[in-house]
Chain A
Amino acid sequence: MRDTAAGTRDYDWWLLAILATICALGVIEIYSATHGSSLAGMHMKQVRWLAVGFIAMFVLSRLDYHLILDQAPILYLIGVVSLVAVLLVGHRRFGAQRWIPVLGEFFQVSELVKLIIIIVLARFFAEVRNDELSLRDLVKAGLLVGVPLVLILKQPDLGTALVLVPLLVIGAYLAGLQWQHAAVFSLAGILLIGSVFYPPVSRHILKPYQRDRITSFLHPEDDAKGSGYQLLQSKIAVGSGGFWGKGFEHGSQNQLGYIPVRYSDFIMSAWAEEQGFKGVLLALGLYMALLLRLVQNAQRAKDRAGMFLVMGVAAALGFHVLVNVAMVIGAMPVTGIPLPLMSYGGSATLFVFLAIGLVMNVRIRRFVN
């Protein structure tokens, strides 16, 4: 079949520019955070991942998203099977079974699953032809998300599992979610979150380390070296940065290793310490621009399927940014969700670029009919 994509002129160059700038900030901060330690050289590894990501993005953008959506059921099957495989044979690192070896690197299967769920939900909601989303369809969509969600929770990886929720929410919302359903499900959600914070209930549904994180989030001072310590050190780093920041390579919290995983999950903390509020303004401004640009691409999508794809990506990225940054300033518990494009990490970077690849895919086909 004929590829309906236009030339490179139709790529969203603004989006790419924003993307590249955020990546650059990330590489700079990874360098600053690691150059003096045994992790020196990590920024170059990240650059390699970014290069791989860019290539993957362009490759994916060339493949018509309708074709991809066509294969949604098979993709879904692959996703679920590989999640089960991870549980059975996956590689255990840092106390969780999340990794499977591919080409000599360890990949987090759940990153791939996020992408698959975006595609599957786009396909599902595009097929809903009514202006209002029926309860029946909503439950179906919920089940589609629920199965992989439970499997990811089993790894256990609460953070990634949670990312699936906003995918469902934004899809349902754009598909015409009725306010009554919204109210009921919001209530259910609030109850669930509440029970997580309520020890007699959380004992049955959370792993001990997850409960510890909740506890130390609520009472950081009781847990001086655990995740409460991490949050506290992160806040100290952010706060001590002040408005102007301590300067590149001059954040003591960063350079002396007080910030936990300062090159990855807490990279925003390191950035905020060294670049101050002005740096935060720049970074969050870029993320906002990125997200708004995605919404704009959704608005100009050729069809509902394209819009759902783009908004799925926006929801995933937005949720990552929200949860990660809120954690950095101590407003949310430690969940292990990286900051897209800035945090070091192969699988996560690859996921973001593939997701953006989907967006480009939709973008370059917006005028084709």
Chain B
Amino acid sequence: MSYWFRNDNRLPQQRLAIVSYVIVGMVGVLLIGFWKLQVIDSDKYAQWAERNKVRSIPVIAPRGRMLDRDGRVLVDNYPSFSVLLLRDDPAQVEKNLPAISEGLGIPLADLREQLQNSRNLKNFQPIVIKPEASQADIAFIESHRTDIPLLEMLMVHRRRYLPGGFMAHASGYVGEVSEQQIEASNGRFRPGDFVGKSGLERQYNDLLQGTDGMRRVVVNSVGKEVDHLPTQEAIPGKQIQLTIDYDLQQVAEQSLGAREGAVVALDPRNGEVLAMASHPVANPNDFAVRISNEEWKQLNDDPAKPMLNRAVQAQLAPGSVFKIILATAMLEDKVPPAGFTTFCPAYATFYGRQFKCWVYGKTTHGWVDLHKAIVESCDIFFYNVGQRLGIDRISYYASHLGLGRRTGIDLPSEETGLVPSEEWVQRVFHRKWYAGETISVAIGQGAVTATPLQLARAIGGIAMGGVFKQPHLLKDAPDVSEERFNISEPTVEKVTDAMYGVVNEKGGTAGALKLTGVDFSGKSGTAQIINYDLRTRLGKGKQFKDNSWFVGYAPRRNPEIVVCVLVQAGGHGSEAAGPVVRDVVKAYYDKKLKKPEGTVTAENKKRGVDASASAAAIQPVRKPREAALTVVGETQDGDPR
């Protein structure tokens, strides 16, 4: 044993005591640190802990389906998976971006752009980076759950439209919500959400959309789900039933075929739209997922304008169909008197300019009264009527019969067409109306333009004796407004008789369209070139084939169906547009007569077994009435521009 420690027991007691104080002080400082975290800032950290462990994944509400008037599905959904990127941890996202890009086959630049676009979103909401995940994508996500805990699959319901662009303009389409919509939505929309972009999808988006729910899961530090919190269920969108009759729609689509044009079939008694087609058309299934900018640009730049719903957006000279407006004005105003006759030498001179009748160079109409002028569509007669009425009377009747303003149909972006007047040229061109212009307008040329829907509504309303129901596509719309324009009984009688003659009398312009057993009436229109403005712009250098119009209805008084068809560059009205009208009217009666119980006709809302449901793609729906709708009908009357 060494002696180095012997006899030395002097301990530095004072310094030891100081060490004790240091220990107490040290523990005190640590406790202050804990106090700050656990008491003062506790709420903040509790929130962080919550955000750590709870992952919110949206549950997308299925969109309401669209059914036809008999309950057949027109627009449906199918389940599909979207890939969600969870962005809670930006550094982690940044680190895994290349792997994600490679695994899912999305260019890195695209991913970065998407992240950039959603940088302003609150609460680190996950974003959809790839809609319509493939089997390979799903496999990739599942196998990388632990090393890339940022990807999540989201079950969504995608829209399925009938193939070939069937009724596509009326149904519209859905698309990813735009940035502007997100900003305007007050947090209701997230990037990657689908909303109605056009047509009924847009019009009734609020009904169809439903409310997304939220699945809340507890995840551990490597992103694995370990528990579930109560899920906020999604509220599915409401199903809507349309006034469209699938069978008529199909006839309309097929009969119009590949030609540019539109078909509108209305029930003038209640304003229900039985069919609405517009060609050419883009298949909305092609962009129900995600459309590239190039494709989108291509669609919009296509000179054939496939995105235009010609039924409500084509504003074209109505041609001779407009003569019905003039005839009504003449008979109501008695200018010239009802018995007015004139001689048609196939041409006439007004204000120093020669105007031709359409039979010019072939024959003449000889002596013409109103009836014959409508049946044979004599231009000379209506030049004279127009000259005598003057533009303001024409304008008055045209706008009161619904031209030059929106019909108020439940579709977005309906166009107004144009009814020219002295006031209009003054306002727009700052000049006086030339009397010669009235002569062109009298036969539906010149500045006057109308949409197919307006013409269907106008002719149907005249045949109804002056009752104009607001056209609508939503079945059981609670408040269908109506307009009444007083037209005297003799006037209605004379005009409808003449339109019956157009189809059924010898010499009628549409004699070839006669339907046995049906009081099929109508008026053809053959409008030169596209419109007034375009004509002045393009000059006379270019030749255009005439636009072909036909508005037909049946029966001759208080019709059940009125159909307006436009075939652009189709030639003569009764040759191109007329047969399409007849096909639709015939289909309507075939269906009605085949079903004496009337289970599927426009007038009878009771449902039954529909043996004539022709297309295999259409299946009857078991509960067609499950969608209780409350839609307030609004009329957009007035606003003649």
Contact = CB atoms under 8 A, between A and B. Distances in A.
A81 B416 CA distance: 98
Interface in B1-50: 1-2, 4-5, 8-13, 15-17, 19-20, 23-24, 26-27, 30-31, 33-35, 37-39, 41-42, 44-46, 48-50
A241 B50 CA distance: 12
Interface of A: 1, 66-67, 69-70, 123, 126-127, 129, 170, 173-176, 223-225, 233, 235-243, 252-253, 256-258, 272, 276-277, 280-281, 284-285, 287-288, 291-292, 295, 298-299, 301-305, 307, 311, 314, 318, 322, 325-326, 329, 331
24 contacts: A126-B8, A129-B8, A174-B15, A174-B19, A224-B89, A225-B91, A236-B45, A239-B38, A239-B49, A240-B48, A240-B49, A242-B39, A257-B221, A258-B53, A295-B16, A295-B23, A307-B11, A307-B16, A311-B19, A314-B23, A322-B26, A329-B33, A329-B37, A331-B33
Interface string B161-188: 0000000000000000000000000000
Highest count of chain B CB atoms <10 Å: which of A239, A288, A298, A305: A239
Contacts of A175: 12
Contact of A301 (B11, B41, B42): B11
B27 to A, nearest CB: 4
Given A174-B15, A288-B27, A295-B19, A239 B8 contact: no
A63 B392 CA distance: 124
Nearest to B10: A304
B52 A277 contact: no
B636 interface: no
A359 B503 CA distance: 120
A223 B16 CA distance: 42
Chain A CB count within 10 A is highest, among B2, B11, B17, B53, for B11
A239 B9 contact: no
Contacts of A331: 33
Contacts of B428: none
Contact of A1 (B1, B50, B226): B1
Given A173-B19, A252-B49, 11 more contacts: A225-B91, A237-B45, A239-B45, A243-B39, A256-B52, A258-B221, A284-B31, A298-B11, A304-B9, A305-B5, A311-B19
Interface residues of B, number: 48
A227 B405 CA distance: 69
A318 B26 contact: yes
A284 B52 contact: no
Contacts of B9: 302-304
Interface of B: 1-2, 4-5, 8-13, 15-17, 19-20, 23-24, 26-27, 30-31, 33-35, 37-39, 41-42, 44-46, 48-50, 52-53, 89-92, 95, 218-222, 226
Contacts of B31: 280-281, 284
Contact of A253 (B30, B44, B52, B89): B52
Interface of B, helix, strand, loop or mixed by DSSP = helix
For the complex of A and B, 3 pairs with smallest distance between CB atoms: A239-B45, A224-B91, A240-B49
Nearest to A240: B49
Given A239-B46, A318-B23, A66 B1 contact: yes
A237 to B, nearest CB: 7
A273 B481 CA distance: 66
A161 B89 CA distance: 35
Given A66-B1, A257-B221, A277-B34, A292 B45 contact: no
Contact of A272 (B27, B38, B50, B90): B38
Contacts of B52: 233, 236, 252-253, 256, 258
A364 B513 CA distance: 124
A320 to B, nearest CB: 12
B45 A69 contact: no
A280 B45 contact: no
Contacts of B12: 174-176
Interface centre among B23, B34, B41, B53 (most CB of A within 10 A): B34
B33 to A, nearest CB: 4
Contact of A325 (B19, B30, B39, B92): B30
B41 A239 contact: yes
Given A69-B5, A70-B1, A236-B45, A276 B38 contact: yes
A240 B220 contact: no
Contacts of A302: 9
Contact of B16 (A126, A280, A303, A311): A311
B11 A299 contact: yes
